[in-house]
Amino acid sequence: MCLLPISSCEDFVPFDRVYSFWVENKSDESISFLVSYNYPDTIIPDNYNELKGVMPGSKTPYDSDEKWEDVFRSLPSDTLSIFIFRAKTISYYDWQVIRNNYKILKRYDISLGDLNRNKWVIPYP
């Protein structure tokens, strides 16, 4: 027997769609990345639990349930910062040491136009 929900289907829509860009690792070592919405503040955000890993020669998506056009419109400056870390750094150092000593491989400050031009892929290196 099938039970029908009391509310309509319109009431339960977890995501209409997922919008993604990808970080591509073209290096020969594993990396992690973290996205910050706080540009022009380029301090590494205290969001350790939001780190995403990317194996060598692969790419990993970064998802939003909002259209990226809407996300960029709501930013303090129309730019996202993407911090790239060596995976070994993440496993070796305490997160606060990484943040305080700015232990990053690279930081990308990207606009919506940058994402469009790069076909929604951010290559490292």
Q: Which residues contact 108 (CB under 8 A, 6 or more apart)?
A: 81, 82, 84, 122
The CATH code of the domain that includes 45 is 2.60.40
Average pLDDT over the chain reads 91
Domain that includes residue 92, residue range: 17-117
Position 7 scores a pLDDT of: 47
Distance CA 89, CA 32 (A): 9
Asked if pLDDT for residue 15 goes beyond 80, the answer is no
- 88 pLDDT tier (thresholds 50, 70, 90): very high
Domain presence at residue 96: yes
Q: pLDDT per residue over 25-73, tens digit each?
A: 999 999 999 999 999 999 999 999 999 999 999 999 999 999 999 999 9
State the total domains in the chain: 1
Asked if pLDDT for residue 116 goes beyond 80, the answer is yes
Distance CA 58, CA 41 (A): 29
Domain presence at residue 10: no
What mean pLDDT is predicted for residues 109-114? 97
Distance CA 11, CA 4 (A): 13
